[in-house]
Amino acid sequence: MKIATWNVNSLKVRLPQVLDWLAQQRPDALCLQELKQEDSAFPMAAITAAGYHAAISGQKTYNGVAILTRNEPTAIERGIGGFEDEQRRLISASVDANFGALRIVCAYMPNGQSIDSDKYQYKLRWLQALTVWLRGELEKYPRLVLLGDYNIAPEDRDVHDPEAWRGQILCSEPERAAFKSLLELGFSDAFRRFEQPEKSFSWWDYRMQGFRRNLGLRIDHILLSQALDGHCKSCSIDKAPRKLERPSDHAPVVAELA
């Protein structure tokens, strides 16, 4: 089965691209972030017509996440259990796979703005709560995949200019330590299980002709629980949608499980 994650930076604007991508790629599951719309505005009819179910948790202007699946999702849950958060950043659902039920967790992790911002403190608290909560989720759902926009570049090789970014937001040591804490739950980074081109990124700033010059970061990830390790057959970044007119600033990340 094919699973993917894509920060679309407004589903209203990006809907035609999402529908095209679904038609071309036919993923079994697509996790979306930054819908930037309330649930009442979600384009359910178009998604249904494309052959997909949708579990959604939307919000006006900011945030908002969804899981689109070809098979009906079950046990849909919103947010991090035990963590009060008015921002709609996380949704979970289960789908059947040929190797057993798969638990999908779709996350839009906080950006943090800058390391001296109170949004940075919120980011670190959010990541801590996620890690605590996931420990229990992994017991309930051993075959669990955590996909989304992590807003963390885990290593220097995930950054176009590591020296310029050192200690900055998306790259700071506390953020990288939080990412490592996720790995210590038994997760592995699907992308790094395979040989990849150098300077592989998933996000490029709209400014400075960032995409054309490949001034990017790899901040969108697919983490696989230990029970899924042997099931992952490939993982790659699809840069094609980033080349379109009016693109999202992120590209989809895709993994194949069997």
User: Interface with DNA by CB under 7 A: which residues?
Assistant: 9-10, 12-13, 36-37, 60-62, 110-111, 113, 119, 206-208, 246
Q: Which residue, 141 or 204, has its beta carbon nearer to DNA? A: 204
Q: Considering the complex, what minimum distance in angstroms separates the CB of residue 62 from DNA?
A: 6
**Distance (Å, whole) CA 141 – CA 144:** 6
**Distance (Å, whole) CA 66 – CA 7:** 10
Q: Considering the complex, what minimum distance in angstroms separates the CB of residue 121 from DNA?
A: 13
Is 150 tagged catalytic?
Answer: no
Q: Considering the complex, what minimum distance in angstroms separates the CB of residue 111 from DNA?
A: 4
DSSP 241: G
Q: Which residue, 57 or 225, has its beta carbon nearer to DNA? A: 57
Structure tokens at 7: 């920060």
Q: How far from 126 is each of 87, 132, 176, 185, 241, CA to CA, in Å?
A: 11, 10, 14, 16, 30
Is 20 tagged catalytic?
Answer: no
* Helix/strand/coil for 206: coil
Q: Which of 241, 179, 178, 168 is nearest to 204 (CA)?
A: 241
Single out the catalytic residue among 120, 141, 149, 158.
Answer: 149
Q: Which residue, 120 or 191, has its beta carbon nearer to DNA? A: 120
Q: Which residue, 69 or 172, has its beta carbon nearer to DNA? A: 172
Q: Which of 235, 155, 169 is nearest to 205 (CA)?
A: 169
Q: Considering the complex, what minimum distance in angstroms separates the CB of residue 83 from DNA?
A: 17
Q: Which residue, 60 or 199, has its beta carbon nearer to DNA? A: 60
**Distance (Å, whole) CA 189 – CA 22:** 24
Structure tokens at 27: 């993923």
Q: Considering the complex, what minimum distance in angstroms separates the CB of residue 12 from DNA?
A: 4
**Distance (Å, whole) CA 204 – CA 212:** 9
Single out the catalytic residue among 28, 52, 108, 249.
Answer: 108
Is residue 237 within 8 A of residue 250, CB to CB? The reply is no
Q: Which positions are annotated as active-site residues? A: 108, 149
